[in-house]
Amino acid sequence: MKAETPVKTLLRWPGGKRRLLRSLLPLVPANATCYCEVFAGSAALLLNKERHPVEVVNDLNGDLVALLRNAHFHLPALMEEMRWFVASRRDFHEFAAQPGLTEIQRAARFLLRNRISFGGGMKSFGVAKTGSGVGFDRDEMSERLEGVRRRLNKVVVENLPYDRCLQNYDSKSSFFFLDPPYVGPSTGAYEGWGQKDMVEFRTRLDRLQGRWLLTINDSPDNRKLFSDCLVRPVATSNRLRNNRTTETASFGELIITPA
């Protein structure tokens, strides 16, 4: 269910779903009344699907939520704040903790740090030797912000734990897209889950009235946990790969729907 005018994402997000859109979009039902993206991240699926009557995007990351909110309500001020931004290593580190800023300033600095960090991981300054490497194109970012602002019209931006979000928006006509933290180490963008978290999550999914679509990292434990569902393994390029230390250019993911 692809949108007529897809919108480019603002963020470079570890585990973001832009590269899987071709596989995910056909699995989003057009007849759902309420569409809820429970773990927003870069919100790639929301930005590229057709609209539903009610749309919700949720994430616990307050900086991410504030960026979406300001892109929606205060776009000219947000764009003005970024007018003189450059891809500076010193700014990358100093913007991590600056007390006394307005919310618009914090949102702008969060966006800059994300765009110029290595793989969008927010931990280290990105270094690249090609024209497609890390940088901050202010003109392009202004276009992306405007596209996101238009797409967020009528979208509810939540900041809830996933269980509360599911509880609030569950119904027989709801559809949830779920891209929880992968089981494993944390990144700068989010805290990784343990297998116990994933087991609790599966238990919660079994209580839903609405339909759902899930993406998680491929592992024997996760395959076993969802063995009664429709499971499709896919390979995704590893955006946090370091060519000096990591040989693996891709990692496995699972696209899962109820049987």
CATH number at residue 253: 3.40.50.150
Question: Per-residue confidence at 22, pLDDT binned at 50, 70, 90?
Answer: very high
Give the pLDDT confidence score for residue 16 in this predicted structure. 65
Q: What would the pLDDT profile of 26-52 be if each residue is shown by its tens digit?
A: 999 999 999 999 998 888 999 999 999
Domain for residue 8, yes or no? no
Domain for residue 102, yes or no? yes
Tell me: pLDDT of 243 over 50: no
Tell me: pLDDT of 229 over 90: yes
Domain for residue 237, yes or no? yes
Domain for residue 55, yes or no? yes
Domain for residue 4, yes or no? no
How many other C-beta atoms lie within 10 A of the C-beta of residue 114?
Answer: 21
Question: Higher model confidence: residue 211 or residue 80?
Answer: 211
Domain for residue 58, yes or no? yes
Give the pLDDT confidence score for residue 102 in this predicted structure. 87
Range of the domain at 68: 18-257
Q: What would the pLDDT profile of 57-108 be if each residue is shown by its tens digit?
A: 999 988 888 888 888 888 889 888 888 787 788 887 888 877 668 889 888 8
Domain for residue 7, yes or no? no
Domain count, the chain: 1
Give the pLDDT confidence score for residue 108 in this predicted structure. 87
Domain for residue 13, yes or no? no
